[in-house]
Structure 1
Amino acid sequence: MTDTIRLSQARVGDRGVIVQVGEHCHHEDHKAELERRLLELGFVEGARIELMHQGLFGGDPIALRVDDMRVALRRHEADSLTIRLDGIAA
C-alpha cells in the first residue's frame, strides 16, 4: 500500500515520487514564486525523492536527494510538495 503526503510530513529515510508541485503555499502572493523556484531546483512531478537528514532544532532544514542531486529545503517550502511514499523509513 502506498501513501500520499506532503513532503514536510516525511521522516528521515522516507522515499517516494513527487506527484504534485505547488497548491499548498500559505501565502498566495508567494505561491507562484515558490513553485517556480522548486521547479528550477528539480522538484518536478515524477522525480524520485528521499529525505536524507533533518536539522536538530525543529527538524529544519531538511536535506533531500532529488533524483541524482542533493538539495536542502525548509519545511514550510517542503509543504508545497506532495509525494507518494514507496518505502518504509530506515
Structure 2
Amino acid sequence: MFSLSLSLSIHPPSLPTAQNCSYTLQSPNGTIESPGYPYGYPNYANCTWVILAAEHNRIQLVFQGFALEEDFDLLSVYDGPPSPGNLRTRSEL
C-alpha cells in the first residue's frame, strides 16, 4: 500500500517550545484546528499534522478560517517527509 503524507506545522523559529502537539489523520475527512480552538493557542506551540491517503487518492486542504500571528507563525505544506524537495507551499507574515 502506498501512502501520501502531508505535514502542516505551526511554530515560531528558534524559540523554546511551550507545547508540542502531533496528530495523524487517516480518515477520508477530518478537521485540523489549533490547540485551544476557538480560543488562542499557547505561545510557542509547535504542532504538526500528518495526513495519510491511500494510493491514487488526493488530499484537498480547504481553509475555512486562517490567521497567522505576525513574526511568529508559519504554515508549511509538504508532499512527503518535511524536506526542501517536498515543500509545496509556505506562508509567512
TM-score for the superposition, normalised by structure 2: 0.28
- Which structure has more helix as a fraction of its residues? 1
- More relative contact order, 1 or 2 (CA 8 Å, 6+ apart): 1
TM-score for the superposition, normalised by structure 1: 0.29
